Amino acid sequence: MLIRRAGQIRTLALCLALSVGLVSMARAQGAPLPSWNDGATKHAILAAVKEATTAGRPGFIPVAERIATFDNDGTLWVEQPIYTQLAFALDRVKVLAPHHPEWKTEEPFASLLEGDLSGAMAGGEKSILEVIMATHAGMSTAQFEQIVVDWLATARHPRFKRPYTELVYAPMVELLAYLRANGFKTFIVSGGGVEFMRPWTEQIYGIPPEQVVGSRIKTSWEMTPEGPVLMREAGIDFIDDKAGKPVGINAMIGRRPMAAAGNSDGDRQMLEWVPTDRPRLRLLVHHDDADREYAYGAKSHVGTFSDSLMAEAKAKGWTVVSMKDDWKRIFAFTP
Amino acid sequence: MLIRRAGQIRTLALCLALSVGLVSMARAQGAPLPSWNDGATKHAILAAVKEATTAGRPGFIPVAERIATFDNDGTLWVEQPIYTQLAFALDRVKVLAPHHPEWKTEEPFASLLEGDLSGAMAGGEKSILEVIMATHAGMSTAQFEQIVVDWLATARHPRFKRPYTELVYAPMVELLAYLRANGFKTFIVSGGGVEFMRPWTEQIYGIPPEQVVGSRIKTSWEMTPEGPVLMREAGIDFIDDKAGKPVGINAMIGRRPMAAAGNSDGDRQMLEWVPTDRPRLRLLVHHDDADREYAYGAKSHVGTFSDSLMAEAKAKGWTVVSMKDDWKRIFAFTP
């Protein structure tokens, strides 16, 4: 299982190595953050990192305390038109449907199988939870990992027609690498499922599994004739969103972040959890680029960036990134 | 708060730097594991590490996967006559008693305040939980950290008359350093409270807060006029013991350990969670040295090392460490 997984991940990673990895690294060896346009945003990032790493400056941070936490959906990769993990769940419903004849009449599955997403989601959070539990539970953690890896190898984004793992923001991948080059330890802190992210974050973002914090399903220990497994149970263990983000950061990391990046109301408390005693990097990605990606925010259900979040960002001097103005390119595959 | 904490930890650490840190480092530069007697146990450890780090060997482990998990109480430091964290809780009961006149008549507090530990513990787990909640909840995470640091600075072990942070096993501190020198990332996976350990594990073991997995109390986000805090609530979030250890390792680390060390039945599942497809280091410390430390095991309530655990260790070829025979010295302060 591990060997098969390793092989597949390697294939997955190889497609990206030249595009994201090597290009970013090569560029990073020149001027930092090459996919960022010159301007106030880029300068604010460079100034914050310089402040954090220059001994004697008021904002200097000892290396051990250089913790940077990044949201994933909408901050590091595309979250429209639906979260990638929801796209995964919907595909799983189709795959599993033959084993669940009852889904033909049971909501939200009946609507889903007829391709009626908004009908399926009419039940709100409860419907989403039912879909997640039906598709994410009832197997071992190792089996789930394999399912995720297999799906990512073939699934394509409906608009960009590319593997989801290519739909990561080149400027943010550069920022992660730049922070690491400056002694920061980079973490993902996402509302997404931790075991949905861990199989690929190391190859795509350079962030190993043990530095991924996310929402969790309950798991239980089981000893089988082939050895122990952890079974994924149909119950939520932890939701890593909103006030759950600092709670998750405290439980998993045990230090407050000294830099944080997000893109929605779900990231508000994480950014507030960065100590305010000194100048620090607090960054919000604003999706205002319908041509190259998506324009949404206050009006979107996915990745809501409310007016009150924008007001707080302005009042507190957080760095708001305009994808349109601040990013030279969005993806590694675009010029 | 952070500055005060840093100063105190530095003082705490300085006392140990020369004894544990520098001495271990200096010795480590010579032959590895100098506090271990030559013999089958030491050779098994050296062989396992060589196997893991030699390319082409069947047991070779890529660096990214070199995860080593260590229990704390009884594996890295003394757990007798009572867990250090329980000693902390008992001292807190005395400190807090003036604010709780009702404790004079309420168990388990009444017995505790009269110095009758076994009477207080007659209620079993429920009593312990009441003491933990009364002493570990109702303050912010930052306040709790300060309380722990303050306590460790003055508390002394009843037998050894030393700070608890000096009662760490020199051979195990060497083993941690030796594993790290060989590319392993070392984690603590303890039934103890994660926030009781994190303030000092980096200085004492070289293990940073983000690599400490432990039991957790519930926390909740609160915005105060002075900024956000995480409040410690009187409820258990997670018990990192027995089958909880692999569950916690999966939730927090997301990889299976390739080496693990424990000392009691609470560590059984963690050791079982090390993949068995290849030779790997699985180690159990056996407390059989009443002269230099303690002799306990099958008959002890604290750190029970049952006959069935010993039988499993023998059947599966786990490395059982005899403190008496395998350790040249127990503590850094002993010759």
The DSSP string of A277-314 is: SS--EEEEEE-B-TTTS-B-STT-STT---HHHHHHHH
**Rounded CA separation A83/A72 (Å):** 10
Residues sharing a CB contact under 8 Å with residue A291, sequence separation 6 or more, in sequence order: none
For residues B287 and B323, is the Cβ–Cβ distance under 8 A? yes
Question: Given B195, B227, B273, which is nearest A228 (Cβ)?
Answer: B273
User: Are B262 and B42 a contacting pair, CB within 8 Å?
Assistant: no
- Nearest CB among A141, A237, A246 relative to B228 is that of A246
- The pair phi, psi for residue B61, each rounded to 5°, is -125, 125
Q: Of residues B97 and B1, which shows the higher confidence score?
A: B97
B94 CB-contact burial (10 Å; exposed 0-12 / middle 13-18 / buried 19+): exposed
Per-residue confidence (pLDDT) for residue A13, from 0 to 100: 47
Q: Which residue of B has its CA nearest to A209?
A: B254
Query: How many C-beta neighbours within 10 Å does residue A20 have?
Result: 25
The DSSP secondary structure of B181-193, one letter per residue, reads HTTPEEEEEEEEE
pLDDT in tens, chain A (335 residues): 344 454 555 444 444 443 444 444 444 457 999 999 999 999 999 999 999 999 999 999 999 999 999 999 999 999 999 999 999 999 999 999 999 999 999 999 999 999 898 888 888 888 888 999 999 999 999 999 999 999 999 999 999 999 999 999 999 999 999 999 999 999 999 999 999 999 999 999 999 999 999 999 999 999 999 999 999 999 999 999 999 999 999 999 999 999 999 999 999 999 999 999 888 999 999 999 999 999 997 878 888 999 999 999 999 999 999 999 999 999 999 98
Could you give the CA distance from residue B80 to residue B295 in angstroms, rounded to a whole number?
Answer: 10
Q: Which of A64, A212, A221 sits opposite B246 (nearest CB)?
A: A221
DSSP string, A75-144: TTB---SS-HHHHHHHHHHHHHGGG-GGGGTSTTHHHHHTT-HHHHGGGTHHHHHHHHHHHHSSSBHHHH
- Phi/psi at B44 (5° precision): -65, -40
Query: 95-154 in B: which are within 8 Å (CB) of A?
Result: 141
- H or E element in which residue A176 lies: helix A170-181
In sequence order, the 6+-apart residues with CB closer than 8 A to the CB of A204 are A13, A16, A20, A165, A168, A173
Residues whose CB is less than 8 angstroms from the CB of residue B217 and which lie 6 or more positions away in sequence, other chains included: B133, B136, B137, B193, B195, B232, B233, B234, B235, B236, B237
* Kind and range of the H or E run holding A236: strand A227-238
Q: Which of B9, B143, B210 to mutate to test binding with chain A, by most A CBs within 10 Å of its CB? A: B210
Q: CB of A208 within 8 Å of any CB in chain B?
A: yes
Is 50 exceeded by the pLDDT of residue B277? yes
3-class SS of residue A223: strand
Q: Residue A298: what pLDDT?
A: 81
Give the dihedral sign, CA B84/B87/B88/B89: positive
Can you give the pLDDT at residue B114? Answer: 93
- Give A39 to chain B, closest Cα distance, Å: 31
Element (H, E) at A187: strand A185-193
Rounded to 5 degrees, what are φ and ψ at A206? 75, 20
> Which pair of tokens denotes residue B319?
């490395």
Helix (H, G, I), strand (E, B) or coil at B246: helix
Q: What is the pLDDT of residue A128?
A: 87
Judged by CB atoms closer than 8 Å, whether chains meet at B198 and A254 is answered as: yes
State how far the Cα of A48 lies from the Cα of A60, in Å rounded to an integer.
10
The answer to whether B69 contacts chain A (CB < 8 Å) is no
> What does the alpha-carbon distance between residue B280 and residue B318 come to, in Å, rounded to a whole number?
9
Q: Does A276 touch chain B (CB under 8 A)?
A: yes
Q: Is B278 near chain A, with CB under 8 Å?
A: no
Four-CA torsion A312, A318, A319, A323, nearest 10 degrees: -30
Give the list of residues 6+ apart from residue A126 with CB closer than 8 angstroms, or none.
Answer: none
Within an 8 Å CB–CB cutoff, is residue B334 touching chain A?
A: no
Which candidate from A208, A228, A273 shows the least CB-CB separation from B272?
A228
SS3 content of chain A, % helix, strand, coil (to 5): 50, 20, 35
A109, two tokens: 């599955």
Tens-digit pLDDT profile for residues B173-219: 999 999 999 999 999 999 999 999 999 999 999 999 999 999 999 99
Per-residue confidence band for B5, with pLDDT thresholds at 50, 70 and 90:
low
List strand residue ranges (DSSP E) for chain B, in order: 67-70, 185-193, 212-224, 227-238, 259-262, 281-286, 319-322
For residue B20, give the nearest of B250, B204, B202 by alpha carbon: B204
